[in-house]
Amino acid sequence: MKSKELRDLTVEELVKKSGEIKSELMNLRFQAARKVLENPMRVRVLRKDIARINTILGEKNQKSE
């Protein structure tokens, strides 16, 4: 996802999205362990999305304090 799209979401939506991405990442890791992973770049994209979400959550927490 793009940062601009993520900034428009609320904190609750960001937390939910992060959980969904983490579960997808876990499934991809299992696929990689079984050597059936079709798109290995997807793992990298998901890790970066999680980092983006955590950054935006941190920014929103700083603004609220």
Q: What is the pLDDT of residue 63?
A: 87
Domain 3-64 classification at class level: mainly alpha
Q: Band the pLDDT of 1: cuts 50, 70, 90.
A: confident
Q: Band the pLDDT of 55: cuts 50, 70, 90.
A: very high
Helices (H), ranges, 1-65:
3-7, 11-33, 41-64
Mean pLDDT of 51-64: 94
Token output for 46? 């998901």
Radius of gyration of the chain, Cα coordinates, nearest whole angstrom? 14
**What is the Cα–Cα distance from 18 to 57, expressed in whole angstroms?**
10
Is the pLDDT reported for residue 47 higher than 90?
yes
DSSP state of 38: S
Domain residue spans of the chain: 3-64
Reported pTM: 0.90
